[in-house]
């Protein structure tokens, strides 16, 4: 059976660290003759049911830089739009390509794609998890930290208990950093994911006070208040999240060396102020750039494994 990246739990702690190290190597080798061509002769389907900027560009460019051929498919241009099942799509694509990146709505669709594909499937985003973005975030924190380590640091999540919050919880359970999430009531992260992480010994707190979460943190993270598919709830969410904007006062509660992180796109004046997003402590553009190297590292890791086991 192929290896997949449906969530970070599919990879394992040692493999996550390997992917982060590999991404740093690929970043250093970009544009140089020594850059690996590990996807030479291989094609990767990149399937989008949700709009995308960073995921689409980083996978497209990354596949090409590794010598492969990206086949970018928008659902509106495929039979998925006309009712062809995820299962049939997975079987069909597996005959053409060597891997599938899938960006969709319900996480069950990722699971169904992986269950029926005979090639690796990578979650490009679902409503429950966003592992590729989380790996880029970890890479960026390591680059900014004094010792390049994740163990023992404290990370804050401010806002919705969404797919990013769930992915941060998974990462905390696997890599040993402390995580505090500040979410409004009724917008907390998935209880099952939280319970599973705590059973693994994760130090994860869920609070309602954003200042409590930010206090002592070396990274303050947030995301939009209404994700794709939640547009009808936008006004309700604005009211619920009004006290969760990341501004200079909230950043002042964090560690003096703390950085601001956002997976983008950002809504200035809602979840973050213009001053923080464009300020000296913001590393959001580094995060966005690191998506490229993480996508390359994931593909390199999965497809090289496939060569070894084939």
- Upstream peptide bond of 265 is cis (omega within 30 degrees of 0): yes
Task: Given the residues 22, 291, 295, 300, select the one marked as catalytic.
Answer: 291
191 is catalytic: no
267 is catalytic: no
Longest dimension (CA), the chain: 55
Asked whether the beta carbons of 137 and 115 are under 8 A apart, the reply is no
295 is catalytic: no
35 is catalytic: no
Question: 262 — alpha (psi -120 to 50), left (phi > 0) or beta?
Answer: beta
| Residue 222 phi, psi dihedral angles, 5° rounding | -150, 180
Q: Which helix (H) or strand (E) holds 72?
A: strand 69-74
Task: Given the residues 137, 178, 223, 300, select the one marked as catalytic.
Answer: 223
Task: Given the residues 10, 109, 127, 133, select the one marked as catalytic.
Answer: 133
Sheet containing 154-158: which strands, arranged edge to edge?
A: 204-207, 178-182, 154-158, 219-222, 259-262
Task: Given the residues 127, 137, 263, 281, select the one marked as catalytic.
Answer: 263
103 is catalytic: yes
291 is catalytic: yes
Task: Given the residues 42, 103, 107, 154, select the one marked as catalytic.
Answer: 103
Task: Given the residues 6, 130, 237, 281, select the one marked as catalytic.
Answer: 130
Give the start-end residues of each E strand in 94-224: 99-103, 121-125, 154-158, 178-182, 204-207, 219-222
| Residue 223 phi, psi dihedral angles, 5° rounding | -155, 170
Asked whether the beta carbons of 280 and 269 are under 8 A apart, the reply is no
Which residues are known to be catalytic?
A: 103, 130, 133, 223, 263, 291
């Amino acid at each position: 059976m192929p290896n997949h990246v449906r969530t970070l739990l599919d990879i394992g702690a040692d493999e996550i660290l390997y992917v982060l190290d590999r991404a740093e190597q690929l970043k250093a080798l970009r544009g140089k003759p020594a850059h690996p061509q590990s996807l030479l002769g291989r094609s990767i389907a990149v399937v989008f049911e949700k709009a995308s900027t960073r995921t689409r560009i980083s996978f497209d460019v990354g596949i090409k830089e590794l010598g492969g051929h990206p086949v970018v498919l928008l659902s509106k241009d495929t039979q998925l739009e006309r009712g062809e099942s995820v299962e049939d799509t997975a079987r069909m694509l597996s005959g053409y390509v060597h891997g599938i990146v899938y960006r969709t709505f319900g996480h069950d669709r990722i699971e169904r794609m992986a269950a029926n594909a005979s090639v690796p499937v990578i979650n490009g985003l679902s409503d429950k998890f966003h592992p590729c973005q989380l790996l880029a975030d970890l890479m960026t924190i390591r680059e900014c930290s004094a010792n390049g380590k994740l163990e023992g640091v404290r990370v804050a999540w401010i806002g919705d208990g969404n797919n990013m919050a769930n992915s941060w919880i998974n990462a905390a359970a696997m890599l040993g950093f402390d995580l505090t999430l500040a979410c409004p009531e009724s917008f907390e992260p998935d209880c099952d994911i939280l319970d599973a992480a705590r059973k693994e010994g994760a130090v994860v707190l869920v609070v309602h006070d954003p200042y409590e979460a930010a206090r002592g943190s070396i990274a303050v993270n947030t995301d939009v208040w209404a994700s794709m598919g939640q547009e009808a709830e936008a006004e309700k969410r604005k009211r619920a999240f009004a006290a969760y904007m990341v501004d200079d006062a909230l950043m002042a509660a964090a560690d003096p060396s703390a950085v601001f992180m956002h997976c983008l796109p950002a809504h200035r004046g809602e979840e973050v102020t213009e001053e923080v997003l464009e300020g000296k402590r913001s590393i959001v553009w580094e995060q966005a750039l690191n998506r490229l190297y993480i996508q390359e590292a994931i593909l390199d890791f999965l497809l090289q494994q496939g060569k070894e086991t084939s």
